[in-house]
Amino acid sequence: MLLLSQVSKSYGNTRVLAPTDLQVPAGETLVLIGPSGCGKSTLLRLIIGLIKSDSGSITFAGTILTSENIFQIRQRTGYVIQEGGLFPHLTVRDNVVVMARHLQRNATWINSRFTELAELVRLPQELMHRFPAELSGGQRQRVSLMRALMLDPELLLLDEPLGALDPMIRYELQQELNGIFSQLKKTVVMVTHDIAEAAYFGHSLVLIRDGHVVQAGSFKELTLSPAEPFVERFISAQREPMERLTKALK
């Protein structure tokens, strides 16, 4: 489905992403993890064509991305960012259907698709005419996911979609998202800094540091066979505080 070959990006003398190879099979979820500023979000922006790579190629469903075809490819890709990125002056409904209207999709199809997605993400009908500022954080993320799914994309790109939510809402949405991924069988590339979230969603994980892929594989592989000490430290840094707290409460 998605293939990156020696893709790199620099800003001036600062290399944000070293030449990187990645492959995401159709129907699987790949999770990019790593410290803040390591290059995770840059990879997503390169895939969707918001920025242009300095080298290499990105192939989507057998087609190499170019400046000439990127608009068509974006119509086959859903993109969700942290806190939703909704248009503040548009209602829930208008946010969700904005691209379908721009592409002049049939009104009957738009209405049917909108209703289907509202049921999928469990968003009550009474919220459809509210504005983003009138919604909770979890509701905004559900709307953002509806917008990303509106054109029934083959690929979903999620950039810290749950990072700004409180723990209870985040837990609920994790479960719902996982169910949606399984039901729709979409190909997903997701960014998170949370190793537990990465393990929950990812068929495979890619750990990045300073623009370099340190290790790629399953959570079990990263845990039991770390490629270098940084992998073990990154995982332990998130697991050990909770383990210490659990022991202290016994």
For the stretch 84-122, pLDDT in tens is: 689 999 999 999 999 999 999 999 999 999 999 998 888
DSSP-assigned beta bridge partners for residue 212? 209
pLDDT for res 136 = 87
pLDDT for res 169 = 74
* Ranges of H-type helices in 55-161: 70-74, 92-102, 107-120, 137-149
For the stretch 70-90, pLDDT in tens is: 888 888 999 988 766 899 999
Alpha-carbon distance of 197 to 48, in angstroms, equals 23
Model-level pTM? Answer: 0.87
Q: Is the separation of the CB atoms in 82 and 164 below 8 Å?
A: yes
pLDDT at residue 192 greater than cutoff 60: yes
Alpha-carbon distance of 68 to 84, in angstroms, equals 28
For the stretch 152-179, pLDDT in tens is: 999 999 998 777 666 777 777 788 888 8
Name the 3-class secondary structure at 4: strand
